[in-house]
Structure 1
Amino acid sequence: MIRHRWRPSARALAGLALAALLALGVQLVAAPSASADPSAATWLKLRMCESSNRYTVNTGNGYYGAYQFDLPTWRSVGGQGRPDLATPAEQDYRALYLYRMRGWQPWECAGMLGLRNDSDGRSKRVPGYADSAYIGGRVPAPVPVGKPAWPGVVYAYGDCAEALKTFQLRMNAFGYGFTGTGCYYDKTRQAVLDLQRANGINDSGRLGPKTWKAAWEGKPPR
C-alpha cells in the first residue's frame, strides 16, 4: 500500500516561516494604513457654512477667519496672532491640524452638514504644510455688481458653492436677508421657488439657468 506523502499547506508554510523569523529575533512591523483627509470640496462646504468662505472675517463675536476659530482653539494647534490676520494657507493648515486632533467636533457647521470623520479624524497625526496645500483656500473675489454669467451648474438642496452665495446676496435685494453662506438649504430653496413662481418657471426648487437669469432680469418674487 502506497502511503501519500504529507504536503504542507500554504498556511502551514507561512506559519513555519513566521516561527522561524521570530526564533531569529526578527521583529515584524505592520505597514501603516493609508490615511485620508477630507476633500477640498468638503472643506469648502465647511467654510461656506462657517464664514461664507471669508478668510478675513471678524464680526466681533470672538470667532475669526474662514474656519471661525476662537483664540484658545487657534493657539491649541500652534496658531499665532489672530486667525483672520493669518494667510489663507495658514488657516487651512491649522484647520487640518485641529481636524486631526479632534475630528469635526469643534465645528457646529460640521454637524449641520452631516460630516463624518474619516481615517485621519482624531488620529493625532500632526500634519505638515504640504498636507494642507490641497485645501487651496483663497480670499474669494467680490460679488459682481452686474448680472454674473450663468455658472453652468444646476444647484439643488444640500449644494454649497460660490455661485450660490452670489445668488443669495442678489436675493437680498428682495428682502430675504441672506448672510451669504453659499449653501442651499430651506431658505434658499424657498427663495428659488418664490422666484420661479413669480416668473412662470417650473417650480422644481432647483436653481437652473432660467431661475438664475430671473434673479437679475425677471419679476421680483415678492
Structure 2
Amino acid sequence: MAETMVVEVMAELAELEDPKAREVNEKHGDDHGVNLGKLRAVAKRLKTQQELARDLWATNDTAARLLALLICRPKAFERDELDVMLREARVPKVHDWLVNYVVKKNPHAEELRQAWFADPDPAVASAGWALTTERVTKKPEGLDLAGLLDVIESEMKDAPDRLQWAMNHCLAQIGIDNPEHRARALAIGERLEVLKDYPTSPGCTSPFAPTWINEIVRRQHDQALA
C-alpha cells in the first residue's frame, strides 16, 4: 500500500513538472520543475503522513523531498535521523526547508545546533548558524554574542557562499536585536563588505548587514512611535 501511494504521488509530481519552472529553479541550484504553490496544494490535500514523508524522502527526488517536508511530523524525527537527512540535503531549497520547517520545530534542535555549528562541511555548518540565528532572536540567553561576532569577523569574508550567507544573517540579527552589540556588528559589516553589491529588487532590503540592520531598526523605531 505504501509503495502504491509513493508511485501515485511521484506520478502526480511528474505531471506538475514545468520546464520553465525548472529552468528558473536550476539557476538557484534547485533541480526540480514543480511550482511551489502547486506543491503546497498537494501537501494540503495529503495532510500529515509521517511514513509517506519518509518514503518520499527516500526517493532522493527533489520535488518529492520538498513535499515530504511539508507533510511530515517535525517532532517525530530522531536526532540522528535529522543529521543524516541534512547531510543528504545538497539542494538549497531542500536544505532550507529541512532546517526551517522541520529541525527548528524538533526537540533535538539545540543539540543539533551545537553539533553542526563548527562542522567541517560548510553546508552542515550553515545549518548550525541558521539555528544559532534563531536563538539570537528567540532565546539568546546563554549565547556568547561577542564570541559569535569574533568568529564572524575572522571567518565570514572567506566562507563558502551558503555558510557566508548564514553567518551574515546572524551578524545582522545580532545587530538588530542587541543595541549593545549594534555598533560592532555595523563596523564588522562595513569592514568586510560581504554582500555589499548583492542585487536587490526594488522595495526589498539589501542583505548587506549594515543596510539590513539600519533599515529594520528604523522600522522598529517608526512602529514604536506610531
Give TM-score, length-normalised by structure 1: 0.26
Looking at both structures, which has the greater relative contact order when contacts are Cα pairs under 8 Å and sequence separation is at least 6? 1
Report which of the two has the higher share of helix: 2
